[in-house]
Amino acid sequence: MNRISALVTPLLPSSCSVPTRRRYPGRANRYTKRLNLKPLTSRIVLLTRRRQLDQIVEEVEAAKKRYGRLNTIVMNSVLEACVHCGDVDLALRLFDEMAEPGGCGVDSITYATILKGLGKARRIDEAFQMMESIEKGTALGNPKLSSALVYGLLDALINAGDLRRANGLLARYGTLLLEQGGPSVLIYNLLMKGYINSGSPQAAVVLLDEMLRLGLEPDRPTYNTLIHACIKCSDLDAAMKFLKEMKEKAEEYYDDSLRPDVITYTTLVKGFGDAKDLTSLQEVYLEMKLCDSLFIDRTAFTAVVDALLKCGSTSGALCVFGEILKRSGDDVELRPKPHLYMSMMRAFAVQGDYGMVRNLYLRLWPDSSGRISKAVQQEADNLLMEAALNAGQLDEALGILTSIVRRWKAIPWTTSGGMAAVRLEALLGFSKSILRPHILSKVIPGEPIESIMIPFEATRPLLGTLQLKNVVMRFFNEQVVPIVDDWGSCIGLLHREDCNNLDASLVSMMRSPPPCVSTTTSIGRVVDLVLEKKHKMVIVIYCCGNGYSSKAVGAFTRAQLYRLFEPEQKLLWWM
């Protein structure tokens, strides 16, 4: 991946500047807590990487109550978190708070962050309006229009693949960017990246000829972008030619800044992995290791392992994985992410190497770096079951499936773990099934739901204007009750777990609108709806002509569905 930073910002001070005060013994300085906000800024940066925006907002609000007004440095980091997490509306609200009288104020970094967020959100008109206000000098804080602001918006547009707007931005502010004399290599690097993101990598290679005609010499980011474009075009030979050209120019001009870096080799590794060219992949990896000035980071190691797995070389991937673990003992930054463990587990689960998958499963929590999401934990459990099944250990696989059902309460059938569970159920038969499938032999799934529905009056609906304290005993016996308005129309369902305020009206706590089906809906469709959406009650409405009447005529509950199930003994006898 091409790592180009189009926006260069000055270093920020670690704390706000306040007058020096003489301290007397026994006298507390009420401004002391406001002097060092660097830990809060570091905390915001850490949460930004984890995309925990809600936690950031909560901690910032607590800091405001404790310290009062925060400085611009802290609020700029909050704006960056909003942009990184995709919440531009919140960023704009914070920007208004900063710019209003009594706020901490805004600076060029604030505007650069907002412009980047507007570009990522495709709100280009607002971004151009802000640029025009800066150009006219009417923007709050009186920031100066600089190439950094233009490059920031340009980079956001290109990352979004909006080349038309990017070219418009260059046409509008090209004079400002050319003040240093002549076209900039950075502009061409950004345009190349834009063509790649928009699905036209061939056009990125064509831009090289234009650069050379203008007398611009490609730099390392240019070559990295060109190699990326060649990989996208599946032209690996051209990518290797650019790699050779980089090394030759670095030797000719004695310029180490032109030598291939870890990004160059990582891009090539991914390309050869996608092409399943194991020999070329091994040659590139060997060249990486023999380069003394090259530090192979975690991203590069992960790309090598993924590429080897794509080429079918599980033994090679295991060797590189072991090298990562060995090096991570001296450098914690090399500790593999959960993604790498999952890639290894997928490969060995398909082969049925249950022992290896189990070892990776056990080391995932203590040895990996970063947050292990719920989805990763579920997939890890499923891969462990799949590995046991492919290894022929049915009892072990059954035990793992039992723990999965007990822990996660559900298993998606469309995933590889779901397919493994189906295979396991088929191999074991219904006699050992932990899922206990049932057959609705008492009804025909194609019949309309009105044939088995409960009359709506039998559900004893409650008026929405009633207070909970007047009917609270009703919810000790029933999990869900329909709520009606003054005209008797069902307007929602009130669940037992939502009853949290005795003095509140029922309509304020109900879930609206209620799940509804027509009287002609098939029983099978309603059963699927109850099971998939986990509804406790579905309201049945009479269908009249082209529309539905506003009055409910019946209901179908989850408890009613359970009563339709055949007992397990009768099901096994039927089988």
* pLDDT tens-digit readout, 521-564: 999 889 888 888 888 999 998 866 544 445 789 999 988 888 88
Confidence of residue 572 (pLDDT cuts 50, 70, 90): very low
Residue 83 domain flag:
no
How many angstroms separate the CA atoms of 148 and 386, rounded?
A: 52
Which amino acid is residue 182, in one-letter code? G
What percent of the chain stands above pLDDT 90? 45
29-52, pLDDT tens digit by residue?
Answer: 444 444 578 889 999 999 998 889
Task: Show the domain range for 557.
Answer: 449-564
3-state helix, strand, coil in the chain (%, to 5): 60, 5, 30
Residue 522 domain flag:
yes
- The H-assigned helical ranges of 137-219 are 147-159, 163-177, 185-197, 201-213
What CATH number is given to the structural domain containing 488?
A: 3.10.580.10
Residue 119's pLDDT is 83
Residue 544 CB: number of other CB atoms within 10 A? 10
Residue 477's pLDDT is 86
Q: Is a pLDDT exceeding 70 seen at residue 569?
A: no
Q: Are 6 and 155 in contact (CB under 8 A)?
A: yes
Residue 487 domain flag:
yes
Q: Is a pLDDT exceeding 50 seen at residue 299?
A: yes
Residue 17's pLDDT is 39
Question: In this predicted model, which residue has the larger pLDDT, 278 or 489?
Answer: 278
Residue 461 domain flag:
yes
Q: Are 221 and 4 in contact (CB under 8 A)?
A: yes
Residue 308's pLDDT is 96
Residue 459's pLDDT is 92
Q: Which candidate, 535, 538, 533, places its Cα nearest to that of 518? A: 538
Q: Is a pLDDT exceeding 50 seen at residue 13?
A: no
Residue 544's pLDDT is 60
Confidence of residue 24 (pLDDT cuts 50, 70, 90): very low
Q: Is a pLDDT exceeding 60 seen at residue 82?
A: yes
What percent of the chain stands above pLDDT 70? 88
Q: Answer whether the bond into residue 513 is a cis peptide, omega within 30°.
A: yes
Residue 552 host element (H or E): strand 547-557
Mean pLDDT estimate for the chain: 84
Backbone dihedral angles phi then psi of residue 26, each to the nearest 5 degrees: 80, 0
How many angstroms separate the CA atoms of 342 and 361, rounded?
A: 9
Q: Is a pLDDT exceeding 80 seen at residue 182?
A: no
Q: Strand order in 547-557's β-sheet?
A: 454-455, 547-557, 537-544, 516-518
183-234, pLDDT tens digit by residue?
Answer: 678 888 888 888 888 788 888 888 888 888 888 889 999 999 999 999 999 9
Confidence of residue 240 (pLDDT cuts 50, 70, 90): very high
Q: Is a pLDDT exceeding 60 seen at residue 2?
A: no
Residue 476 domain flag:
yes
Q: Is a pLDDT exceeding 90 seen at residue 573?
A: no
Residue 232 CB: number of other CB atoms within 10 A? 19
448-499, pLDDT tens digit by residue?
Answer: 998 999 999 999 999 999 999 999 999 988 999 999 988 888 889 999 999 9
Question: In this predicted model, which residue has the larger pLDDT, 147 or 518?
Answer: 518
Residue 94 domain flag:
no
Q: Are 491 and 464 in contact (CB under 8 A)?
A: yes
Confidence of residue 10 (pLDDT cuts 50, 70, 90): very low
Residue 276 domain flag:
no
Residue 493 β-bridge partners: 482, 511
Residue 80's pLDDT is 93
Residue 575's pLDDT is 33
341-399, pLDDT tens digit by residue?
Answer: 999 999 999 999 999 999 999 999 999 988 898 989 999 999 999 999 999 999 899 89
Give the end-to-end CA distance of the chain in Å, rounded to a whole number.
56
Instruction: Tokens for 394, please give them.
Output: 């049915």
Residue 467 domain flag:
yes
Looking at the 3D structure of the chain, how many domains does it have? 1
